[in-house]
């Protein structure tokens, strides 16, 4: 009996050893399937456990953020430019208004139904329809717009809305992974991935206040107003524009940081408008020609070529020819940075300005006023 059990144990050991060798070196031998009536064999991977996520997958972030990204359909009744001309109506009849459709994306940011999107998505629209990822639809009302940052706030009336968590765009670094979520070309909600390619892009001419996040995540027409999110599914920015020669993505897209979007959202919801600081100056980027004209020795900063009489800057003693190097401790090297820094100041509360005047460094306390509503996005802080 002992001899029998010894032989049995040895046989089992040999079989297990052989199975281990085959499973290690030739696993396909163990997974071979034969097709009835032929000689074709296929290899099938074992099924993944329910709910498991592949290593490196962006699925958790996409699953968390996607429900709060909506599609926005707009309709505008556009009339022919000559429709009021009696002779035009005599020959061609009353053409009436021809509806024009627009497409964009948006992000639900509160349970009350507030939706962030781009101003250019809804500008001039007669009707705005928001379509959720769960196929629910609702007519949206424009709460307020801010053309100076190309942002708009809409409101929809639906229950149990998915809401996106606001992240921190100030903590972003070049190279961080991001996802872009929106409705490109109207094909339906789409998620693309990439990295943060650059920060602080401000020479693009897209809006008055520019501080864009640049990303290579694919952004296409229809993505405007959609979400740029981090790997936790938190909102980092509102996708707003692309650089393209073909109309499609070329790997250069731009998003408005969530820090800017949050200030616009809070201002519009609370006051119906965005309140910004203003000091009443005519700024220009410092150039050798301007430096020579005003006798300036500074090599960086923003030169002031004009000061509004009795404006906040004039009352604080700022003069033409002064070079502003810092605003409230924040360095400024171009007009866009000066605009953003002054706009962030609270009207009525003084702030220190570091000024260079003919080789002398001064600190001037300026009490900003409320920025007047611009007629045409004029660049005067």
Query: Which residues are the active-site residues?
Result: 120, 150, 224
C-alpha span between 222 and 124 (Å, rounded):
17
Query: DSSP assignment, residue 204?
Result: S
**E strand or H helix that includes residue 195:** strand 190-201
Evaluated on CA atoms 276, 279, 280, 286, the torsion sign reads: negative
Q: How far apart are CA 168 and CA 181, in angstroms?
A: 18
Residue 373 DSSP symbol: P
Q: Cβ contacts of residue 3 below 8 Å, gap of 6+?
A: none
- Cβ-contact 125, 74 below 8 angstroms: yes
Q: Which of 117, 100, 206 is nearest to 156 (CA)?
A: 117
Cβ burial of 347 (10 Å; 0-12, 13-18, 19+) is middle
Beta carbons of 221 and 258 less than 8 angstroms apart: no
In sequence order, the 6+-apart residues with CB closer than 8 A to the CB of 71 are 103, 104, 105, 106, 130, 131, 183, 186, 189
Name the 3-class secondary structure at 361. Answer: strand
Q: Please state, in angstroms and as integers, the Cα–Cα distance from residue 238 to each residue in 276, 296, 318, following that order.
A: 20, 40, 36
Structure tokens at 227: 């979400």
């Amino acid at each position: 009996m002992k001899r029998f059990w010894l032989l049995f144990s040895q046989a089992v050991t040999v079989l297990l050893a052989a199975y281990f060798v085959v499973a290690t070196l030739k696993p396909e031998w163990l997974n071979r399937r034969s097709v009835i009536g032929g000689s074709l064999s296929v290899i099938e991977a074992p099924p993944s456990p329910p709910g498991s996520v592949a290593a490196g997958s962006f699925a958790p972030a996409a699953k968390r953020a996607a429900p709060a990204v909506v599609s926005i359909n707009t309709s505008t009744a556009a009339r022919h430019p000559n429709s009021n001309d009696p002779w035009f109506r005599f020959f061609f009849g009353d053409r009436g208004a021809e509806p024009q459709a627009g497409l964009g994306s948006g992000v639900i940011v509160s349970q009350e139904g507030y939706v962030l999107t781009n101003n250019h998505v809804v500008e001039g629209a007669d009707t705005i329809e928001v379509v959720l990822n769960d196929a629910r639809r609702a007519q949206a009302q424009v709460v307020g717009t801010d053309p100076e940052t190309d942002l708009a706030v809409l409101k929809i009336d639906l229950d149990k809305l998915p809401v996106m968590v606001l992240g921190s765009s100030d903590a972003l670094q070049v190279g961080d992974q991001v996802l872009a979520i929106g409705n490109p070309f109207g094909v339906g909600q789409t998620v693309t991935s990439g990295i943060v390619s650059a920060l602080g892009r401000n020479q693009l001419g897209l809006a008055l206040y520019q501080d864009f996040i640049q990303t290579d995540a694919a952004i296409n027409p229809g993505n405007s107003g959609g979400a740029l999110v981090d790997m936790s599914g938190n909102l980092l920015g509102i996708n707003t524009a692309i650089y393209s020669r073909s109309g499609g993505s070329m790997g250069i897209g731009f998003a408005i940081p969530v820090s800017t979007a949050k200030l616009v959202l809070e201002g519009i919801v609370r006051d119906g408008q965005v309140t910004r600081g203003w000091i009443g100056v005519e700024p220009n980027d410092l150039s050798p020609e301007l430096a020579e004209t005003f006798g300036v020795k500074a090599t960086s900063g923003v030169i002031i070529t004009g000061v509004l009489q009795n404006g906040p800057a004039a009352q604080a003693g700022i003069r033409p020819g002064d070079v502003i190097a810092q605003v409230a401790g924040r360095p400024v090297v171009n007009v866009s940075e000066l605009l953003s820094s002054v706009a962030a100041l609270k009207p009525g509360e003084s702030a220190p300005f570091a000024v260079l005047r003919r080789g002398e460094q001064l600190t001037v306390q300026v009490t900003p006023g409320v920025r007047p509503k611009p007629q045409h996005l004029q660049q005067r802080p």
